[in-house]
């Protein structure tokens, strides 16, 4: 599990540790890890041209100490001091003693153009707002000349706690972060600025995180495993109330996902019975609507529903069964009925649907994803899975789960229907809503990568790749 903590939490952990250690220990640990990561990226250090962009805080201090280490290993290191009168003095002394040179922003263009590497020490967890001049022009020049950039702790200009970006921010090749990830390193749009993220352990003891990203072993531990005695009912039956005369395909795709999600059986109700049975004869069919459909351990409602209100209301009224609401169902669901539910409810909007539910623009959701997912969870008293390049899964409180496995190829028609069926199946198999959402998104993203393999793919192929993703995770 990768975990991310807010700035305030990091600072508290730092204070606790610092009081027990000699002065400067943490900064030296950070700088040592940073220098090693830069050396690994460079391949060979000797005679390489390294440029440091040094801001006014400890982030600049880390950068100068790392620059000193690289200089001692034979690199030609030049520090551009953005605010010379506010530079970290001890670090600057160490840097110049190690043979590093300094320059001012006005004289830096030529040095930058020739650099093999730029280390971004403008600002770290103490930053507010986007880049400021003259850093803005220098970063633009480095990006223009394709100089690889290593960001120190965070890409300068991003908001550490929220992943928001107000103004311009560095686009790093590699971010070397200290002690723990920060939410911005997991959550878009900031995450896209971070490149590869490398964590340096500096010995902090940390409380529960603000955000967390599952990895293979975490997902494997959460997946349902049938025992010798489980029959189809013990493994869970998932009900799918989806599709309409206009969108029968959504029902087929939701069932396709549900059949690969670990439930023992899939029960379908809706107008696309013929289409579903033609593709999946193993589906149990009910023509009486959700209320009288028989035993079901979780319902999925909404994919391709069009304007069919009745199934959504019926499912929401089933108070002892977990429910996943997707797509048209989100628009049709009565917010009061969702809030009053006592069994778990999982809402799975994309940014446009989330915007409609919140009464804001899609752009506002895209730029404030953490806020949007938390706000929806709190307004609806539900678990919310906000789809996107990095899907977020949140309850009103507790760590937000960030799914790292997505691929842009998943932005294809019907892909969300597969996800809703799959996730509903995991709910029926007994996973809590947050786990079902995060495991569903993880497998779905991985399946998307297998199905696409670098080329366009279809939602149906994503569903077919789910067993491969499952085996990959558990193997
Ligand atoms: N905590 C830990 O465990 C450890 C922390 N460590 C390191 O310390 C870093 C935090 O250091 P920090 O607190 O000195 O803040 P930092 O990020 O350098 O910036 C503050 C300065 O930047 C300025 N400034 C603000 N916004 C700006 C902008 N947009 N553009 C330009 N400037 C801007 C602001 O000035 P002002 O806004 O007042 O003008 C202020 O002077 C952390 O990220 C890590 O690298 C490690 O050594 C190991 C242990
Ligand atoms: K930085």
Residues 441 and 222 sit within 8 Å (Cβ to Cβ): no
Residue with tokens 């550490």: 160
446, 462: one domain? yes
Ligand 1: atom nearest CA of 62 is 47
Please name the residue whose Cα sits nearest to atom 32 of ligand 1.
123
Instruction: Give the mutation target among 59, 69, 82, 157 for probing the ligand 1 site: most ligand atoms within 8 A of CB.
Output: 59
| Pocket (CB within 6 angstroms of ligand 1) | 10-11, 14, 26-27, 30, 55-60, 62, 122-129, 131-132, 152-153, 178-179, 202
Ligand 1: atom nearest CA of 29 is 48
- Show which of 171, 189, 213 is a domain's final residue: 213
- Show which of 213, 243, 271 is a domain's final residue: 213
- Show which of 213, 233, 261 is a domain's final residue: 213
CATH number at residue 63: 3.40.50.10260
61, 168: one domain? yes
For helices 248-259 and 415-428, angle between their N-to-C axes, nearest 10 degrees: 40
152, 9: one domain? yes
Ligand 2 mean position, distance from CA 121 (Å):
4
Which ligand approaches the C-alpha of residue 53 most closely?
Answer: 2
Given phi > 0 = left and psi -120 to 50 = alpha, else beta, which region is 159? beta
Give the Cα separation of 195 and 455 in Å (integer): 22
65, 199: one domain? yes
Instruction: Give the mutation target among 56, 91, 152 for probing the ligand 1 site: most ligand atoms within 8 A of CB.
Output: 56
Tell me which H or E stretch contains 174.
strand 174-178
Ligand 1 mean position, distance from CA 126 (Å):
4
Instruction: Give the mutation target among 127, 175, 183 for probing the ligand 1 site: most ligand atoms within 8 A of CB.
Output: 127
Ligand 2 mean position, distance from CA 63 (Å):
9
**Closest Cα to residue 22, out of 220, 146, 203, 170?**
203
195, 222: one domain? no
Ligand 2 mean position, distance from CA 366 (Å):
23
345, 316: one domain? yes
Which ligand approaches the C-alpha of residue 26 most closely?
Answer: 1
146, 280: one domain? no
CA 382 to chain centre: 20
172, 286: one domain? no
250, 317: one domain? yes
170, 222: one domain? no
Binding positions for AMP? 387-391, 416
Residue with tokens 């950070």: 30
Ligand 1 mean position, distance from CA 326 (Å):
42
Whole-number CA gyration radius for the chain: 26
Regions in the chain scoring below 50 on pLDDT: none
Give the Cα separation of 7 and 9 in Å (integer): 5
Residue with tokens 């440091």: 52
Which ligand approaches the C-alpha of residue 17 most closely?
Answer: 1
Predicted confidence at residue 421, as pLDDT, reads 98
Q: Which domain holds residue 115?
A: 2-213
Residues 224 and 235 sit within 8 Å (Cβ to Cβ): yes
Please name the residue whose Cα sits nearest to atom 33 of ligand 1.
127
CB atoms closer than 10 angstroms to residue 439: 30
Predicted confidence at residue 337, as pLDDT, reads 97
Ligand 2 mean position, distance from CA 195 (Å):
13
Instruction: Give the mutation target among 126, 129, 167, 206 for probing the ligand 1 site: most ligand atoms within 8 A of CB.
Output: 126
Predicted confidence at residue 396, as pLDDT, reads 86
Please name the residue whose Cα sits nearest to atom 2 of ligand 1.
14
Give the Cα separation of 362 and 369 in Å (integer): 10
Residues 448 and 406 sit within 8 Å (Cβ to Cβ): yes
202, 60: one domain? yes
CATH number at residue 281: 3.40.1190.20
Ligand 1 mean position, distance from CA 58 (Å):
5
262, 292: one domain? yes
Ligand 2 mean position, distance from CA 253 (Å):
44
Ligand 2 mean position, distance from CA 62 (Å):
10
Binding positions for (6S)-NADPHX? 58-62, 124-130, 153, 250, 304, 350, 417
The interface predicted TM-score (ipTM) is: 0.98
Q: How many domains does the structure of the chain reveal?
A: 2
Which ligand approaches the C-alpha of residue 172 most closely?
Answer: 2
């Amino acid at each position: 599990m990768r975990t991310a903590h807010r700035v305030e939490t990091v600072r508290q952990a730092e204070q606790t540790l610092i009081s027990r250690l000699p002065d400067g220990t943490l900064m030296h640990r950070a700088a040592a890890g940073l220098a090693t990561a830069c050396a690994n990226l460079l391949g060979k250090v000797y005679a390489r041209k390294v440029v440091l962009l040094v801001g006014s805080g400890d982030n600049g201090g880390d950068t100068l100490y790392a620059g000193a280490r690289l200089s001692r290993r034979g690199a030609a290191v030049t520090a551009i001091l953005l605010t010379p009168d506010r530079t970290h003095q001890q670090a600057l002394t160490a840097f110049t003693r190690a043979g590093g040179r300094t320059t001012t922003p006005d004289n830096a263009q030529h040095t930058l153009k020739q650099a093999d590497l730029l280390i971004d020490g403008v600002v770290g967890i103490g930053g507010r707002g986007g880049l400021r001049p003259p850093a803005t022009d220098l970063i633009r020049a480095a990006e223009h000349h394709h100089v690889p950039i290593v960001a120190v702790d965070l890409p300068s200009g991003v908001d550490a706690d929220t992943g928001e970006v107000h103004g311009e921010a560095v686009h790093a090749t590699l971010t070397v972060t200290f002690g723990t990830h920060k939410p911005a390193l997991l959550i878009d749009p900031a995450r896209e600025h971070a490149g590869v993220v490398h964590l340096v352990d500096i010995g902090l003891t940390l409380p529960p995180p603000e955000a967390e990203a599952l990895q293979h072993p975490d997902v494997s531990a959460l997946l349902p495993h049938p025992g010798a005695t489980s029959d189809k009912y013990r493994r869970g039956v998932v009900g799918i109330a989806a599709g309409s005369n206009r969108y029968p395909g959504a029902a087929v795709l939701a069932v396709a996902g549900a059949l690969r999600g670990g439930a023992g059986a899939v029960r379908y109700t809706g107008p696309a019975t013929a289409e579903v049975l033609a593709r999946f004869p193993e589906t149990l069919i009910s023509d009486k609507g959700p209320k009288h459909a028989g035993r079901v351990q979780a319902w999925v409602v909404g994919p391709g529903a069009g304007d069919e209100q009745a199934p959504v209301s019926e499912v929401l009224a089933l108070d002892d069964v977990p429910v996943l609401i997707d797509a048209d169902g989100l628009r049709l669901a009565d917010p009061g009925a969702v809030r009053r539910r006592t069994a778990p409810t999982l809402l799975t909007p994309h940014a446009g649907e989330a915007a409609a539910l919140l009464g804001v623009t899609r752009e506002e959701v895209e730029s404030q994803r953490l806020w949007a997912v938390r706000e929806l969870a709190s307004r609806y008293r539900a678990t919310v899975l906000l789809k996107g390049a990095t899907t977020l899964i949140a309850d009103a409180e507790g760590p937000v789960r960030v799914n790292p496995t997505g691929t842009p190829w998943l932005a294809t028609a019907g892909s969300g229907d597969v996800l809703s069926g799959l996730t509903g199946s995991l709910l029926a198999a007994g996973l809590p809503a947050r786990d079902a959402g995060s495991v569903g998104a993880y497998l779905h993203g991985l399946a998307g990568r297998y199905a696409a393999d670098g080329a366009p793919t279809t939602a149906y192929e994503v569903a077919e790749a789910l067993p491969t993703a499952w085996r990959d995770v558990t193997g």
